[in-house]
Structure 1
C-alpha cells in the first residue's frame, strides 16, 4: 500500500515534501504523491476559500483523513459546504493553522493513516 509522503519542511512561502525535489508554495499531498496547489485552476481565493474542487483530486486517491492548512495567519477560509463535502464522502477533516496542520499531518503519516492534505504556506 502506498503511504502518504511526510512534509519535510515548512517556512513562509516554502514547503518541501520528502522524496520530492520541488519546493512548493502551496501543495497537495496524498498517498504516493504530491503536487503544486495552483489556486488559478479552480479560481480559489482567501475568501470564500477552499472549494470542493480544490480537494476532489486528493479525495479520489482514497484518503481517510484530509488535513487543510489555512495559512500561517489563517487567512484562507474553509466554508462549511467544503467540510460537508468531505464528510459526505466519509472523510475525516482537520482544518488548522498551517504549522499545526503539517505537524498533525506528519503524525498521521507516522501512524500509517491514509491521509491527504492541502496546505497554504503564506498568510
Structure 2
C-alpha cells in the first residue's frame, strides 16, 4: 500500500488524493489520511510537535516521516519527538510546509513508506 499524494496546498487548505475532504492540517500514511487536530494532544506552535502527534503515523509502519512546520516556519518540533523517531529508526525531515509537501510527494513517487504531519498556516 502506498502513501497518498498531496495534490493541493494553499494557506489553510490541503487536499490529499483519495481523501474525503480538504484539511487545514493533516496526517498522512500509507493507505490513508486524516485531519490533524492539535486539540487532541494540546499541541501549540511552541514547544511544537510532540511525540503524541506522530505516534498514529508511526503505527502505520512508515520508515520516513516528513514534518511540515507551517508556511512561515512557525511550528516547532520538540526534541523528544525527534528522539522518539531516531529510537524507532525512522528517517525524519523537518521543513517549511511547501518544501515538506514537495519532499513528501517526491518520496511517495519513489515508493518510500512515508508518512507526514503538515501544518498549512503560519
Relative to the length of structure 1, the TM-score reads 0.98
RMSD: 0.5
User: 1:80 offset after TM fit, Å?
Assistant: 1.7
The secondary structure found in structure 1 opposite 2:8 is strand
Match of 1:71 in 2: 70
1:112 matched residue in structure 2: 111
State the partner residue of 1:88.
Answer: 87
* Cross-structure match for 2:4: 5
**Structure 2 unmatched ranges of 5 or more:** none
Cα separation, 2, equivalents of 1:52 and 1:65: 15
Gaps of 5+ in 1: none
TM score, norm. by length of structure 2: 0.99
Number of residue pairs aligned between Structure 1 and Structure 2? 122
Measure the CA separation in 1 of the matches of 2:60 and 2:101: 19
Question: Hey, what does 1:37 align to over in structure 2?
Answer: 36
